Each structure stands twice: as structure tokens, then as C-alpha cells.
Structure 1
């Protein structure tokens, strides 16, 4: 009896790394799909397709509105389809994390439930954006929740990834966290500009110039904090290679984002692909900063570093 128990425990210990790796890959796939979903959502807003399907959750009362299908209807319909697939994938992730809970870290099932809560709330907001006729505060909350869900997936995936830090991150975790928060706020301001068409109205001397100017002013603290991350990484000689690479990515992406923002502004949002790219690069910058902060915390905290092995 004792021998069979020991054999079972040995088998479990051998299977654990494989199951954990498989779950990590699943989370990464959902995270990438979420980033793509935000790109489709941005295209839907830029192309004025947010109300192309006048009802919800169906589109013209159908699962596939073949007769009414055009570019705008397709964007809104595909956005809903992609969101549904992500929701089902998250539900599967929750089920698998509980089914294999003995072979996985104890925190994972609860983190999965938290991610599911965010995606369910996101679905409610998605429905309200249609029924409330694209009310700007609901649209902005819809974007903010999507970014939080994306960040949650990135953190979970990285905590499932084996990582042996060098305990040299130091202040990098705090600066990275600050930069991530500032970029998140900047993304929300950008979403608010888009949902209220503040840039167009600002050129017409509207009071919404205050919204537009807030987004422009917000560029400076977010950019300075992001570049400080790069500077600290450059000044830390023994920094883990993963952290150093992420810091360089942050530097490159923030420069690209500023250039895209300037081009979008001076072209008055007339080039839709450019505007969508500006939105999605901002989300990618936020995700990269979240990833860097997560690894920096694991680098300097033994307790968190051991999450992936507990």
C-alpha cells in the first residue's frame, strides 16, 4: 500500500512540470487572442461600426447575419465572436485548473476564477455598449476591463513559467509598476478621446479639448517612467537577461508609440490603420511593462519566485 502511494506521488511529481507548462501555454494563447481582440475592438470603433449590429447578443437576430453583412457589420460581429471564444477558453482554463489542482500551484484555480470574473464583467459591459448606444463611460470601462484581463493573463502565465532570478532588480519593480499604472491611465484617456471623438471636436473649438489635452499631457509622465525603466535596466550590470530584453522592448515600443501618436494627431485620425496601430501598441506597451514588473518582483522576492514551483 505504501509503495503504491509513493509511486503515485512520484508520477504526480513527474507530470507536474508538463501540466504546468501546458497550462502556461494555454494562458499565453488566451492573452494573445485578447490583444488581437482589442485590435478588432479598436477597428470597430474607428470604423464607426460599434452599432452595426443593432441588437445584442445576436446580430440582426441571427448568429451569422449573412444578408446584412458588410465591412462594418463584419467587424462588430467578428468582435463578438472573438470575445465569445475567449470567454469559452477562459471557462475551459478555470475547469482545467481545478481538475489538475493537485499538480498545479494552489493559487492558480483562484486566479483563474478571478480572470473569469473579469471576462464575465467585460461581457456585460460589451452588451451595455450596444444597448446604451455607445455611452462614452461604458466604452471606456470596456477598454479598461479588457486591459486588466490582459494584464491578469500575463501575470498568471509568467508565474507559471520557470524563472531563476539574480536578485538584482531592486527598484526596477517599483518603477516598472509605476510606469505600467501610468500607461494604463494613458490608455484609458486615449479610449476616452476615441469614445467622445474629442480630437475631431477639439479641432472645432469644442470644450472637449480638455479631454484631448489631458491625453497629450499624460504622454510625458508615462514616457518618462517607461524610459526610466530602460535606464535602470541599463545601469544594472547583473540584471537577468529576460528583464534586460523586456526593458529594451519597452524603450523601443514607447518611442514607436509616441511617433504613432504624433502622426495620428497631425493626420486628424483620418488614417484608420494608423489609429488602430496606435491603440494596440499602447496595449502592448502596457502588457510589456506588466511582464517586466512581474519578473522583477519574482527576481527580488523568494516567496513569489517560488510560486511556479509550489
Structure 2
């Protein structure tokens, strides 16, 4: 089951990348039907098949590279779904003590896969309607996160609950640990909200709305409207390819995405500082991983704006976002599972007093008997 989970993790990361490429190459409607492509299992290549396809969908001429991009994404996602269903079946078949948690996670994954299939269909049939595209991207990230949690749950318990060793007496710190858990969950919610803002920016084609940084159109908030940024466009059976929002709406979406990035950076940085100040046994590697990916993501976001969204940078921005999300989930898992300890001041002071007392019992090499 662990090996199959590892395969699913690699595949879901590839699917996220393929989904990003599909959007960036404007291939979201490369196949105007679902689950096939112009009525075929693969994009039409022969001239007679292309004629049939274009007669069935006269408003959508065949563009081969876009059709292939879309179908590769669909088949990769379908393969991932089959693996997840297999993991769910294995979870219900196993009788290990830790399996109830595994069953819960795999069942949630299967439900998300079913929803993702529906969102994939609606993305095509509703012609890239931004709310559906946003939820579809968010579902991919949730699948990635749950697979990471599943993989960490399958780790043998002896490798996850070994606290940092020290000669100093330590005790569990339940209140600080609870506060760190609570704050970590808050940061998780903010991170999910920021990923949603990124998806909303992409689905509304607002990535090029602000070609400068840190200002937007050489302004700060003058052209920003909260109402326009989060207004849901009305569906009217017309394609949303390349976006149908006005310039002010796109600017507003981009600005709020940047504000969300700043809030996420501040809260995530505070969480990492608190983690480093704890005595968590894995605090250094976890902090280094999350901090490095956070810095890289900020840099890619800035370059995406000032370099006008080049394909490699835009793709990397999506993939690093997934890695940052996954690394934070890993950190949150170990914060919850591995005990955090601090020095016990009572035992520490007692041991200090005892050592001083023992040193005073020996004067000039002669032992002084104690009262006890």
C-alpha cells in the first residue's frame, strides 16, 4: 500500500502540472466534449476524422496540440483515480490497528476523485466558467494534500514519535503544543484561501493585469474593487476562454491575490519562528523546507508579473505552490504527531541544587556525611 501511495503522489504532482499546462496553453477547450475528444477516444489525426469532428462541432475547429494536451491530462487524471480507488479497496480490506484512519483518508480521496471527474466534465460543458475551473484546481491540491497525509499516516509509529534527546529533563508542553496546533490550522486555512485566490486569478486570466511590482498599473489601490474582484460571472452558454471580465476586475483580482500572498507570508513566517523556538525534533528540516519553498514562490510570483507570465515561470509558480502546500501539510502532520518538549524548570533546578550539594559534600578530598 505504501508503494502504491508513492506512485499516486508522483502521479498527482504530474497531473497538477498537466492541469497548469492545459490552462497556460489555452487547451481547456481543446476537446469540446467529455470524456472523449470530438467523439473519439483520442484526438482526431486523420483528415477524415478531422472532417467528422468539425462537422459535429463547427464552432470549435480541431487544434491538435491543444486536443492532445487536454486528453493527456484527462488520461493521467483517470489513471490517478483508478489508483486511489484501489487504495480505498486495500484500506477496507486490511485489518491493521491504524487502518481506521487510513480508511477515512482513502474514502475522502475517492469522494474527491468523483467530484474532480464532475468538475472536469463541467469545465468543458460550461466552457471554462471561472467558479468551476477554480474548484477543479483546488480539488487537485486537496487530492495532493490528502495523499501526503495518507503517506505520512502509513509511516511506522516508531519513526514518528521520537522526541529530541537531551541530557536535560524534559516534560511535554500540552498548552504550547495546543496553541501551535491551533495556529497551524489557521495558517492552513489561509494557505488554502491563497491557493484559491491563485486559481481565481488564473481562471479569470488576470495574471497579466499588473505588469509591474509592487504597484499595479503604477497604482496601489486606486483601481481596486472588492465587489468586482469576487463577483461571479453569469453563465450564458458563451465561452470564457481568454476571460470575459473587464480590466478593472482583472486588476482587482490580481491585487487581492498579492494582498493574500503578503498575509500568507507573514502568518507562515510567524508559524515557522514558533516552530524553531520549540524543542521539536524535526524543527530544523521542516522549517528549512517550508521557508525555502516560500521564498522561491515569492520570487516566482514577482517574476511572473514583471516578465509578463513566461510559460516556464508560470508553470513553476503552480508546481512550487503545490510543493509549498505539501511541505506545510507534512510539517503540520509532524507537529501534531511528534511530541514537543521543553525543559522542566522544577526538575532542572532540583538537579542543579543536588549537584551543588554533592560538590559541597567533598572538601579537600574528604567526604562529608550528609544528614540523611
TM-score range relative to shorter protein: 0.7 to 0.9
Q: Does 1:105 align with 2:109?
A: no
**What's the counterpart of residue 196 of structure 1?**
204
Higher relative contact order (CA 8 A, sep 6+): 1
Which of 206, 209, 212 is 2:254 aligned to?
212
Please, which runs of 5 or more residues in structure 2 have no aligned partner?
A: 46-61, 164-171, 211-216, 218-245, 341-372
Shift of 1:36: 1.6
Shift of 1:165: 4.1
**What's the counterpart of residue 319 of structure 2?**
280
Q: Does 1:178 align with 2:219?
A: no
Q: Distance in 1 between matches of 2:335 and 2:3?
A: 21
Q: Aligned pair in 2 of structure 1 residues 104, 69: CA closer, same or farther (>3 Å)?
A: farther
3-state SS, counterpart of residue 101 of structure 1: coil
Query: What TM-score does the superposition give when structure 2 sets the normalisation length?
Result: 0.69
Q: Is this contact kept in 1: 2:280–2:338, CA < 8 A?
A: no
Shift of 1:155: 1.3
**What's the counterpart of residue 256 of structure 1?**
296
Shift of 1:104: 5.2
**What's the counterpart of residue 80 of structure 2?**
86
Aligned residue-pair number: 276
Shift of 1:32: 2.5
Q: Does 1:164 align with 2:177?
A: no
Q: Distance in 2 between matches of 1:141 and 1:282?
A: 16
Give 1 or 2: higher helix fraction: 1
Which of 265, 271, 283 is 2:305 aligned to?
265
**What's the counterpart of residue 24 of structure 2?**
46
**What's the counterpart of residue 291 of structure 1?**
330
Q: Is this contact kept in 2: 1:174–1:293, CA < 8 A?
A: no
Q: Is this contact kept in 2: 1:151–1:287, CA < 8 A?
A: yes
CA RMSD of aligned residues (A): 2.1
Deviation per residue, 1:183-222 (Å, 9 max, x gap): 2111111111111112335668433221111101001111
Moved more, 88-97 or 204-213: 204-213
Larger Rg belongs to: 2
